[in-house]
Amino acid sequence: MRIPRLLLFSLAVTPCLDAAPAAPAAAPDPAHVWDLTLLYKDQAAFDAAKAKLTADLPKLKDFQGRLGKDAATLRQAMELLTDLQGQYFRLGSYAAQASDENLRDAAAMERSQEIDMLASELSNAASFVNPELLAVGEQTITRFLAHEPGLAVYRFPIMDTLRNAPHTLGAEAESVLSSSSAITDTPSSLYGVLANADLPWPTIKLADGTEARLDQAGYTRWRSAANRADRQAVFEAFWGKMKEYERTFGVALFSQVKTDWFNARVRKYPSSLAAALSGNNVPESVYRTLLAQTNANLPTLHRYFKLRGRMLGVSDLRYWDIYPPMVQLEKKFPYELSKQLTLAAVQPLGADYIAGITESMEGRYTHVYPRPGKRSGAYSSGSVHDAHPYVLLNHNDDYESLSTLAHEWGHGMHSVLANRAQPAPLANYSIFTAEIASTCNEALLLDHMLKIAKDDDERLFYLGSALEGLRGTFFRQAMFAEFELRIHEEVEKGNALSGDALTKIYGEILRRYHGDAEGVLKIDELVTVEWAYIPHFYRNFYVFQYATSIAASQAFAAKILAHEPGAVDTYLGLLKAGGSDYPYELVKKAGVDLATPAPYQALVQRMNTIMDQIEAILAKRGK
């Protein structure tokens, strides 16, 4: 069976590259820092657990060649594998989160790296399982499942292994491929070091005299500057520097795409896309329907850009005009207020959900504020079946921070519900469903904020924020997905990809999405190297799931807010299902078929409805 990786969910719109402003040196309030002693009471306990997993790994070999002996032996092997995975998830969660508290802590980073190596060892030790299950055969395994009740919880993952028979190699080859994972992440590592450490980022002076260092975090911060000339200067300096390293970034991404194609061919898949979707058994029609519907509805995206230009007072819209808010809101959202608003927003999900999220946010499970050295961005970690999920934030007392809180504890509550309802082998859910839980909470938050808004200025701000969220999570991620498909198809045809070639492909797609030819938004040549900035391209057809998820979540939220009978139970049932079935099937059973145009058309209609509301307010003001 597959060894799932530690589940760390980043923000849907922005990768974990956001600037974490300098924090005061004073010790944080313990209530605002997660308590990792709930995982291991101290370093000695962690070390002992690591030693135990290392000692337990060889026990798997005792079952090699014996999985077909009888049902009891197969059950014992599955129980051991599940136990080893559970040990790894707990170790991995602790090590990663302890390191993220302070990325300057070399010892903590080394612990996290050691656990990553241990994951490779676990994968290698278990590499015989899939080939051997296939050798035992479906007929024998079906008989074992019928006669051994203890195997019931393993039915789905075992049958999933049999489904992958055409793409599973012999035990020796599987062992070699498992071992190769230690080197196949080299393109991603190269990107990370170059983009986050070695690149000599420029510093520019803004109109107010501020010295702005434009590393990735600085770019994220200053790209939304209120002064348009500052934004243009930020873009020209940042993308100019990225362009200087276009060749090196090109080598890294070309190597990643070649790695993906190598793995697909070795496992006898017709394409890299087919190989990537096979793991969760997602129909290729989902991916292609998403791209088709996104392109069919580009006029709605172009309408949004025109509205943005109108509200910003900009007639010649450029790429550096995308990020500043269309309306300024001088209102703070301190953490305690953000918790209260989140709780109020999710009231439609019922008493049990409210109780669970209240307990989660009041417990020591959230690392709230920015600190020197702390990882930027936000995520939820909920893969430890017998422990409570944790959430990392960088709360800045603004509306985005409030939205992030609701988003990440949407993930957290997904884990709470799945872990309670499902046994360990069936609890961990796919990214395909994960972003539904988070973005549904965001939709509920928007509805609540519009209801309590004091005036049209507030409403415009919330509506504008929602529009940008839908643009960034649906259209932008679909654009990335289209680029990803294009470059993989080029390699599959035997074509090489230089940095310049990648820029040309990305530039064509970028201009089409932003209506350059139609005069909607001018794409300057300097920003067409943006592909080099996106870390998700090193995760093998990952980003499309943000777009499909937000389409699904908007459908669920609409039914919940309309008080449709059974809507809440159906939605919570999806969350409770965890990984007990293929994610596409789980969403389809809940009433949303992502292989059809309907959910994407509904999302686009929601964007148009929001724009109708904004334009009605502007018309009332004579604008």
What pLDDT, in 10s, does the model give residues 450-507?
999 999 999 999 999 999 999 999 999 999 999 999 999 999 999 999 999 999 999 9
Which DSSP state fits 575?
H
pLDDT in tens, 283-314: 999 999 999 999 999 999 999 999 999 999 99
CA 229 to CA 206: how far, in whole Å?
Answer: 9
Do 192 and 173 lie in one domain? The reply is no
In a domain, 607, yes or no: no
Residue 91 has pLDDT above 70, yes or no: yes
**179 plus 194 within the same structural domain:** no
Active-site residue, 408 included? yes
- pLDDT class for 403, splitting at 50, 70, 90? very high
Q: Is 263 helix (H, G, I), strand (E, B) or coil?
A: helix
Whole-angstrom distance, CA of residue 77 vs CA of residue 92: 22
Q: Are residues 84 and 209 in the same domain?
A: no
Structure token digits, residue 329: 């809101």
Q: Check residue 19 and give left, alpha or beta (phi > 0: left; psi -120 to 50: alpha).
A: beta
Please check whether residues 180 and 73 belong to one and the same domain. yes
Alpha carbon distance 583, 595 (integer Å): 12
- Closest by Cα among 305, 286, 313 to 607: 305
Residues 169 and 195 in one domain: no
**pLDDT at residue number 10:** 32
Place of tokens 């014992």: 76
Report long-range pairs for 80-83 (Cβ below 8 Å, ≥24 apart): 80/56, 81/1, 81/126, 81/129, 82/154, 82/424, 82/425, 83/56
The reply to whether 191 and 179 lie within a common domain is: no
The per-residue pLDDT for 281 is: 96
The model's pTM is 0.89
Using CA atoms, how far apart are residues 51 and 56, in angstroms rounded to an integer?
Answer: 9
- Round to whole Å and give the CA distance between 498 and 175: 33
Q: The domain that contains 95 carries what CATH number?
A: 1.20.140.70
pLDDT for the residue 19? 34
Q: Is residue 103 part of a domain?
A: yes
Tokens 């799932």 sit on residue = 4
Question: Residue 94 falls within a domain, yes or no?
Answer: yes
**Residue 25 pLDDT more than 50?**
no
Q: What is the pLDDT of residue 298?
A: 98
Residue 113 has pLDDT above 80, yes or no: yes
Structure tokens, 230: 């500052």
The chain-wide mean pLDDT, for the chain, equals: 92
Least confident piece of the model among 179-183, 319-323, 372-376, 514-518:
179-183
Predicted local confidence at residue 321, as pLDDT: 97
Q: Which residue has the tokens 């504008």?
A: 464
Residue 608 is assigned to a structural domain of this protein:
no
Report pLDDT for 485.
98
**pLDDT (0 to 100) of residue 182:** 66
The CATH number for 235's domain is 1.10.287.830
Is position 235 within any domain?
A: yes
128 and 236 in a single domain? The answer is: no
Which residue(s) pair with 58 in the sheet? none
pLDDT digits (tens, 9 = 90+) for 527-578: 999 999 998 999 999 999 999 999 999 999 999 999 999 999 999 999 999 9
Q: Judge whether 502 lies within some domain.
A: no
At residue 6, the pLDDT reads 35
Q: Where is pLDDT greater, at 566 or 374?
A: 566
Residues spanned by the domain of 226: 187-244
Where a domain ends, among 139, 160, 184? Answer: 184
Domain identity same for 106 and 206: no
Percent over 70 (pLDDT), the chain: 96
**Same domain, residue pair 218 and 135:** no
Is pLDDT at 340 greater than 60 in this prediction?
yes
In the set 174, 408, 435, 468, the catalytic residue is 408
Residues 87 and 193 in one domain: no
Q: Which of 195, 218, 244 is the last residue of a domain?
A: 244
| Residue at 164: amino acid letter | N
* Higher-pLDDT residue of 599, 117: 599
Q: Is residue 262 part of a domain?
A: no
Q: Please give the torsion angle defined by the CA atoms of residues 62, 68, 72 and 74, in that order, rounded to the nearest 10 degrees.
A: 60
Distance, in Å, from the CA atom of 434 to the CA atom of 446, rounded to the nearest integer, reads: 19
pLDDT higher than 60, residue 104? yes
Do residues 236 and 178 share a domain?
A: no
Answer whether residue 271 shows pLDDT above 70: yes
Residues 134 and 173 occupy one common structural domain: yes
Q: What tokens appear for 296 in the block?
A: 């069919």
- Is position 330 within any domain? no
Domain count, the chain: 2
| pLDDT > 80? residue 442 | yes
Q: Exposed, middle or buried, 271 (CB in 10 Å: 0-12/13-18/19+)?
A: middle
**Distance between CA 304 and CA 569 in Å, rounded?**
34
326 HSE (CA, 13 A, CB side):
27
Query: Is 22's pLDDT higher than 90?
Result: no
Q: What is the pLDDT of residue 28?
A: 81
Q: What's the residue count for the chain?
A: 623
Which of 244, 270, 291 represents a domain boundary (last residue)?
244
Residue 9: helix, strand or coil by DSSP? Answer: strand
